[in-house]
Amino acid sequence: MDFLHYQNGQLFANQVAISDLAEQYGTPLYVYSSDYITKQFLAYQQALNDTNHLICYAVKANSNLSVLNQLANLGAGFDIVSQGELERVLKAGADANKVVFSGVAKSIVEIERALTVGIKCFNVESEPELYRINDIAKRLNKVATISLRINPDVDAKTHPYISTGLRENKFGISYQLALDVYRKAKSLSNIKIAGIDCHIGSQLTELSPFLDAADRIVALVDELKANDINIEHIDLGGGLGVCYNDEKTISPLQLVTELKKKFAKYANVELLFEPGRCIVANAGLLITKVEYTKHQDGNHFAIVDAGMNDLIRPALYDAWMRVLPVKEPKSSDETLIYNVVGPICESSDVLAHQRDLSVQQDDLLVVCSAGAYGFSMASNYNSHPRPAEVMLIGEQQHKVIRQRESFDDLWRGESL
């Protein structure tokens, strides 16, 4: 997060004091850097500039309309997993022809809508889904463009909740069954086979799982070609990891360079990537205020106003996220080992375990690397309104891109 730095004893984002953002917009507060999002997207674009390609941002990582609009203006396509995400990207100005629809449980209504607006491709995740898409396309007098999401049974070496490429995972079609399902797809009147899709997991920090999956996809493309099934695009999914602590990560250039070698004999085939986390994770932060400090039985708690309802990653995935005090620590400050905990009535409501901090009541803390799977997974649990979201634009400008929810928003749509 190169836009965060201390200046005159205070934490700044670019040239904006974090304390000023908290005072103007309140806490908890999500803040994103527009420049960082652009930089990360262009890293992919530049790595692929000599290749027929499409970068489809994974909307689930951060679905704010402003983020989507910025990426659409940069030429991005979008990877969606619901009709809600489809409507979001269309509202944000996306080209439907650059949208790929993933997800294991596409409903009839969702498929109808996607066919009506003319998306680029369905990433089909089961044989029954294939038949459903064909039936709906026939009824609407359309031809549905599809790829099959293949599960290559590759260990992504990541958290089991975000590993998607093993045979026991719910995602995709078994590698062993792929050829048979492609043959069935070829026989269907309202299906056009365009591609092959593979996504093995998220927060991958090694090249080997990507390369192992690529080897299996190349072998399958060869087999399909031998059966007169020609592939127009290869979708290699997302999953590129980011640095939350001290992880050694892979750059988009490293990843793309190695994968292009694997597909060299298919140089005319379009390559699709679906990055999400690596575009937005380190573009975002969550500002929170210390409501109380609590010291008992040798335990120290910084009780803050942000909880697992605002940021569930630490509770759900045991994710480690850096926590920085907004006041720059001095060498003379007394530090204690704190658990940073939120207001939710769950013992799992811990944003950070065992951190060396010097904090007092009413101090501000920043949870770093919160741009991905932060607000997009937020909820109203314990009837907490969701935070506002703010975008940093350049060095000094900032604007609200989502208003803080009101209490009236909590029961909107309900009735006595």
Whether 239 and 386 share a structural domain:
no
Q: Look at residue 132 and tell me whether its pLDDT is greater than 60.
A: yes
Whether 129 and 241 share a structural domain:
yes
| Cα 106 to chain centroid, rounded | 19
247 among annotated binding-site residues: no
What's the pLDDT score for residue 159?
44
What's the pLDDT score for residue 161?
45
373 among annotated binding-site residues: yes
Beta strand 53-58 with 270-273: parallel, antiparallel or unpaired? parallel
Whether 181 and 206 share a structural domain:
yes
275 among annotated binding-site residues: yes
Give the end of a domain, one of 234, 249, 278.
Answer: 278
What's the pLDDT score for residue 369?
97
Whether 239 and 122 share a structural domain:
yes
Task: Give the domain CATH number at 268.
Answer: 3.20.20.10
239 among annotated binding-site residues: yes
- Find the Cα–Cα–Cα–Cα dihedral 372, 148, 97, 104, rounded to 10°: -50
Give the end of a domain, one of 253, 278, 303.
Answer: 278
What's the pLDDT score for residue 153?
75
In the residue annotation, 345 being an active-site residue is answered as: yes
- 216 belongs to a structural domain: yes
Contact yes or no for 119/86 (Cβ under 8 A)? yes
- 319 belongs to a structural domain: yes
Beta bridge partners of 171: none
**Closest residue by Cα to residue 37 from 8, 61, 15:** 61
- 153 belongs to a structural domain: yes
Residue 247 CA neighbour count, 13 Å, CB half: 19
Q: Can you tell me which residue has the tokens 């990877």?
A: 79
274 among annotated binding-site residues: yes
Beta strand 397-402 with 323-325: parallel, antiparallel or unpaired? unpaired
Structure tokens, 367: 């949870």
Contact yes or no for 284/290 (Cβ under 8 A)? no
Proportion of the chain above pLDDT 70, given as a percent: 96
DSSP per-residue string spanning 194-238: EEEE---BSSB--SHHHHHHHHHHHHHHHHHHHTT---SEEE---
Confidence of residue 156 (pLDDT cuts 50, 70, 90): low
- 349 belongs to a structural domain: yes
Give the residue-averaged pLDDT of 117-137.
Answer: 97
- 200 belongs to a structural domain: yes
- What are the distances in angstroms from CA 230 to CA 143, 151, 267? 17, 19, 14
- 416 belongs to a structural domain: no
Q: Can you tell me which residue has the tokens 């929170």?
A: 288
346 among annotated binding-site residues: yes
d(CA 288, CA 387): 10
Give the end of a domain, one of 250, 278, 306.
Answer: 278
> Which residues 6+ apart lie within 8 Å of 93 measured at CB?
68, 69, 72, 73
Q: Look at residue 158 and tell me whether its pLDDT is greater than 90.
A: no
Give the residue-averaged pLDDT of 9-35.
Answer: 98
> Which stretch of 63-67, 70-74, 199-203 has the lowest confidence by average pLDDT?
199-203
Mean pLDDT of all residues belonging to the chain: 94
DSSP state of 406: P
Q: Look at residue 162 and tell me whether its pLDDT is greater than 50.
A: no
Whether 342 and 221 share a structural domain:
no
> Which stretch of 188-197, 200-209, 212-221, 390-399 has the lowest confidence by average pLDDT?
200-209
- 225 belongs to a structural domain: yes
- What are the distances in angstroms from CA 290 to CA 16, 112, 271, 346, 382? 21, 48, 47, 18, 19
276 among annotated binding-site residues: yes
Structure tokens, 61: 């990582």
* Domain enclosing residue 160, as ranges: 34-278
- Find the Cα–Cα–Cα–Cα dihedral 371, 376, 378, 384, rounded to 10°: 100
- 415 belongs to a structural domain: no
Give the residue-averaged pLDDT of 327-344.
Answer: 94
Contact yes or no for 242/283 (Cβ under 8 A)? no
Contact yes or no for 96/118 (Cβ under 8 A)? yes
Q: Look at residue 154 and tell me whether its pLDDT is greater than 90.
A: no
Beta bridge partners of 122: 101, 146
Give the residue-averaged pLDDT of 130-147.
Answer: 98
Kindly report, residue by residue over 72-92, the tens digit of the pLDDT. 999 999 999 999 999 999 999
Proportion of the chain above pLDDT 90, given as a percent: 87
Q: Look at residue 240 and tell me whether its pLDDT is greater than 80.
A: yes
Domain count within the chain: 2
Q: Look at residue 105 and tell me whether its pLDDT is greater than 70.
A: yes
What's the pLDDT score for residue 245?
92
Whether 243 and 158 share a structural domain:
yes
What's the pLDDT score for residue 29?
98
Whether 77 and 21 share a structural domain:
no
Q: Kindly report the pTM of this predicted structure.
A: 0.94
Kindly report, residue by residue over 265-321, the tens digit of the pLDDT. 998 999 999 999 999 999 999 999 999 999 999 999 999 999 999 999 999 999 999
- Find the Cα–Cα–Cα–Cα dihedral 243, 47, 86, 209, rounded to 10°: -60
Give the residue-averaged pLDDT of 10-17.
Answer: 97
Task: Give the domain CATH number at 15.
Answer: 2.40.37.10
Q: Which of 56, 198, 243, 345 is catalytic?
A: 345
d(CA 79, CA 103): 10
Whether 329 and 237 share a structural domain:
no
Whether 391 and 305 share a structural domain:
yes
Whether 179 and 306 share a structural domain:
no
How many other C-beta atoms lie within 10 A of the C-beta of residue 275?
A: 24
d(CA 187, CA 210): 31
Whether 223 and 292 share a structural domain:
no
Whether 246 and 340 share a structural domain:
no
Confidence of residue 110 (pLDDT cuts 50, 70, 90): very high
DSSP per-residue string spanning 99-131: EEE--S---HHHHHHHHHHT-SEEEE-SHHHHH
